[in-house]
Amino acid sequence: MQALGKHLLVELHGCDPDALKSIDLIREAMVTAAKIANATIIGVSFHEFSPFGISGVVVIAESHLSIHTWPEYRYAAVDIFTCGDQLKPEVAVDYITLQLKSKNVSVVEVRRGLIGKNVGRLPHKIGSSEEKAHADKELSLAY
Protein backbone atom coordinates (compact mmCIF):
# COMPACT_ATOMS: atom_id res chain seq x y z
CA MET A 1 0.00 0.00 0.00
CA GLN A 2 1.14 3.50 -0.81
CA ALA A 3 0.37 6.42 1.48
CA LEU A 4 -0.39 9.96 0.43
CA GLY A 5 0.96 11.33 3.69
CA LYS A 6 3.01 10.69 6.79
CA HIS A 7 1.64 11.79 10.18
CA LEU A 8 4.07 11.89 13.10
CA LEU A 9 2.48 11.94 16.55
CA VAL A 10 5.15 13.25 18.90
CA GLU A 11 5.06 13.04 22.71
CA LEU A 12 7.60 15.30 24.44
CA HIS A 13 8.00 14.65 28.18
CA GLY A 14 10.38 16.31 30.63
CA CYS A 15 10.50 19.57 28.70
CA ASP A 16 11.77 22.89 30.05
CA PRO A 17 8.60 24.44 31.56
CA ASP A 18 9.81 27.98 30.82
CA ALA A 19 10.18 27.08 27.15
CA LEU A 20 6.67 25.62 27.13
CA LYS A 21 5.31 28.94 28.48
CA SER A 22 7.05 31.13 25.90
CA ILE A 23 4.84 31.80 22.89
CA ASP A 24 7.76 33.47 21.10
CA LEU A 25 10.04 30.46 21.60
CA ILE A 26 7.30 27.99 20.61
CA ARG A 27 6.39 29.97 17.47
CA GLU A 28 10.05 30.30 16.45
CA ALA A 29 10.71 26.60 17.05
CA MET A 30 7.72 25.48 15.00
CA VAL A 31 8.33 27.88 12.09
CA THR A 32 12.04 27.06 11.95
CA ALA A 33 11.26 23.33 12.17
CA ALA A 34 8.96 23.67 9.14
CA LYS A 35 11.64 25.56 7.21
CA ILE A 36 14.45 23.10 7.93
CA ALA A 37 12.14 20.20 7.05
CA ASN A 38 11.84 21.81 3.59
CA ALA A 39 8.17 22.78 3.96
CA THR A 40 6.36 25.63 2.22
CA ILE A 41 4.79 27.80 4.94
CA ILE A 42 1.34 29.22 4.13
CA GLY A 43 0.17 30.49 7.53
CA VAL A 44 1.03 30.65 11.22
CA SER A 45 -1.35 30.92 14.21
CA PHE A 46 -0.54 30.61 17.92
CA HIS A 47 -2.56 31.24 21.08
CA GLU A 48 -1.40 31.62 24.69
CA PHE A 49 -3.76 30.40 27.41
CA SER A 50 -4.15 31.82 30.92
CA PRO A 51 -2.51 31.02 33.25
CA PHE A 52 -0.23 29.14 30.81
CA GLY A 53 -0.08 26.76 27.89
CA ILE A 54 0.19 27.37 24.18
CA SER A 55 -1.54 25.92 21.13
CA GLY A 56 -0.41 26.67 17.63
CA VAL A 57 -0.25 25.56 14.05
CA VAL A 58 2.01 26.17 11.11
CA VAL A 59 0.03 25.51 7.96
CA ILE A 60 2.22 24.29 5.14
CA ALA A 61 1.44 23.52 1.51
CA GLU A 62 2.22 19.91 2.37
CA SER A 63 -0.22 19.89 5.39
CA HIS A 64 0.65 21.14 8.93
CA LEU A 65 2.70 21.17 12.12
CA SER A 66 0.80 21.70 15.38
CA ILE A 67 1.66 21.88 19.06
CA HIS A 68 -0.15 21.96 22.42
CA THR A 69 1.85 22.58 25.60
CA TRP A 70 1.20 21.78 29.26
CA PRO A 71 4.03 23.52 31.16
CA GLU A 72 2.69 22.34 34.52
CA TYR A 73 3.31 18.75 33.37
CA ARG A 74 6.49 19.55 31.39
CA TYR A 75 4.73 18.03 28.36
CA ALA A 76 4.05 18.97 24.74
CA ALA A 77 2.07 17.15 22.06
CA VAL A 78 3.25 17.79 18.50
CA ASP A 79 1.68 16.62 15.24
CA ILE A 80 3.56 16.81 11.96
CA PHE A 81 1.51 15.78 8.95
CA THR A 82 3.23 15.92 5.57
CA CYS A 83 2.72 14.70 2.05
CA GLY A 84 5.16 14.52 -0.81
CA ASP A 85 8.69 13.23 -1.09
CA GLN A 86 10.65 16.43 -0.47
CA LEU A 87 9.93 16.92 3.22
CA LYS A 88 11.95 15.55 6.12
CA PRO A 89 9.55 15.61 9.10
CA GLU A 90 12.05 13.76 11.31
CA VAL A 91 14.36 16.79 11.05
CA ALA A 92 11.52 18.97 12.37
CA VAL A 93 11.00 16.58 15.31
CA ASP A 94 14.70 16.72 16.21
CA TYR A 95 14.74 20.53 16.12
CA ILE A 96 11.60 20.96 18.24
CA THR A 97 12.88 18.38 20.74
CA LEU A 98 16.13 20.34 21.16
CA GLN A 99 14.38 23.68 21.53
CA LEU A 100 12.03 22.39 24.24
CA LYS A 101 14.83 20.41 25.95
CA SER A 102 12.69 17.28 26.08
CA LYS A 103 14.19 14.43 28.09
CA ASN A 104 11.83 11.72 26.80
CA VAL A 105 10.56 11.62 23.22
CA SER A 106 8.11 9.20 21.66
CA VAL A 107 7.22 9.28 17.95
CA VAL A 108 4.45 7.24 16.34
CA GLU A 109 4.19 7.29 12.55
CA VAL A 110 0.79 6.89 10.91
CA ARG A 111 0.54 6.48 7.16
CA ARG A 112 -2.44 8.50 5.89
CA GLY A 113 -4.42 8.15 2.67
CA LEU A 114 -3.57 4.57 1.89
CA ILE A 115 -3.88 3.77 -1.80
CA GLY A 116 -3.89 0.27 -3.33
CA LYS A 117 -0.57 -1.34 -4.19
CA ASN A 118 -1.51 -1.65 -7.88
CA VAL A 119 -1.57 2.10 -8.27
CA GLY A 120 1.44 3.72 -9.92
CA ARG A 121 3.18 6.73 -8.48
CA LEU A 122 0.67 9.55 -7.98
CA PRO A 123 1.91 13.14 -8.02
CA HIS A 124 0.85 15.31 -5.07
CA LYS A 125 0.38 18.31 -7.30
CA ILE A 126 -1.39 17.70 -10.58
CA GLY A 127 -0.84 20.47 -13.06
CA SER A 128 -1.48 19.40 -16.62
CA SER A 129 -4.55 17.67 -18.04
CA GLU A 130 -2.23 14.79 -18.97
CA GLU A 131 -1.18 14.38 -15.29
CA LYS A 132 -4.84 14.48 -14.22
CA ALA A 133 -5.78 11.81 -16.78
CA HIS A 134 -2.89 9.61 -15.54
CA ALA A 135 -3.97 10.04 -11.89
CA ASP A 136 -7.61 9.26 -12.74
CA LYS A 137 -6.53 6.10 -14.58
CA GLU A 138 -4.29 4.93 -11.74
CA LEU A 139 -7.03 5.51 -9.15
CA SER A 140 -9.61 3.68 -11.24
CA LEU A 141 -7.34 0.63 -11.12
CA ALA A 142 -7.24 0.77 -7.33
CA TYR A 143 -10.93 1.15 -6.72
Strand partners, 70: 75
Catalytic residues: 63, 68, 83
Nearest residue to 76 (alpha-carbon basis) of 84, 67, 85 = 67
CB 137 within 8 A of CB 52: no
